Amino acid sequence: MEEELKRAFLGMKRQEAIDLVKAALESNTDPLMILGVCREAMEEVGERFETGEFFLSELIHSAEVFKQVSAILEPALISRRAPETSGSVVFGTPKGDIHDLGKNIVVTMMRAQGFLVHDVGVDVPPEKLVEEVQRTGTNILALSALITPAFVSMKKAVSLLKEKGLREKTFVIIGGGVTTDLARKEVGADAQTLDPTKAIRLCRQYLERTTL
C-alpha cells in the first residue's frame, strides 16, 4: 500500500490516492501510518518542485489531494486517540504568509494525539493570534511559515504576549520550511522544528513541566 500510495501522489492521480486511503482504512491500517506515508509523498513532491522536475501546478494539485486525504483520515485518527485531552494549542500561519499545508499536517497529527487545536487559519494578524490565546486560555501558540515576511508578525505576536502579561505562561513554537533556530531567537520563540512529531513531543514536554 505504501508504495502504491506514494506513486499515486507523485503521479498526480487524485482518485487513486483517495481510493487507496479508504481501502487502507477499511483494512484497519493505522491511520497515523497512512498519514505518514502521505506526508513522505508530499515531501518528495516538494523536493521535485525545488529541482524543477515538478511545476507549481503539480505542487498545488498534490496539496489539494493531501487536504482531501487528511479530511478522510481525521475521524479515524481522532477516534483512536486517548480520551483525555493532551493540551490546548492555538495554531496559525501569521500575517504575510498564506501557506497552510505544513500547518494542516501538524494540526491533523496533534488532534490525533489528543490535543485540542484552535486552528485560526492563514495570514493571521498578530493581534488575532494573541486574542485567540486569551479567549481560549491556552498556553501553547504554534506558528507555521514558508516565507520570511511572516517573521515580522511572529515577532509582533510575541511582543503582544509580553504586553498583555501572557508571555511567561505561553509556550511559543514555530515551524515551516524557512524557520531555523536563528529565526527562533530573532522572533523570541521558545522552540523551532521542521518535524511534526518533534513539535508534538516538545509541546508535551512543556505541558509536563508546567504540571509538575
CA-CA distance, 99 to 146, in Å (whole number)?
7
Give the cell for residue 126: 498578530
| CATH 3.40.50.280 in the chain, residue ranges | 87-210
Q: Which amino acid is at 50?
A: E
Of the candidates 10, 99, 15, the one whose C-alpha atom is nearest the C-alpha of residue 62 is: 10
Of the candidates 193, 6, 14, the one whose C-alpha atom is nearest the C-alpha of residue 102 is: 193
CATH number at 87-210:
3.40.50.280
Q: What is the largest CA-CA distance in the chain?
A: 52
pLDDT computed for residue 81 by the predictor: 57
CA-CA distance, 202 to 197, in Å (whole number)?
9
Q: Which amino acid is at 196?
A: P
Residues 6+ apart with CB under 8 A from 127: 160
Of the candidates 72, 60, 82, the one whose C-alpha atom is nearest the C-alpha of residue 23 is: 72
Which helix (H) or strand (E) segment is 134 a member of? helix 126-136
List the beta bridge partners of residue 118.
90
List Cα–Cα distances, 164 to 88, 117, 126, 136, 142, in angstroms.
19, 22, 13, 15, 18
pLDDT computed for residue 212 by the predictor: 57
| CATH 1.10.1240.10 in the chain, residue ranges | 2-79
pLDDT computed for residue 83 by the predictor: 47
CA-CA distance, 98 to 123, in Å (whole number)?
5
Instruction: Tell me which of 1.10.1270.20, 2.60.40.420, 1.10.10.10, 1.10.1240.10 is the CATH number of domain 2-79.
Output: 1.10.1240.10
pLDDT in tens for each of the 212 residues of the chain?
889 999 998 999 999 999 999 999 999 998 888 988 988 888 788 788 878 898 878 877 888 888 888 889 888 876 665 544 568 999 999 999 998 878 888 887 788 777 889 999 999 999 999 999 999 999 999 999 999 999 999 999 999 999 999 999 999 999 998 999 999 999 999 999 988 889 999 999 999 888 65
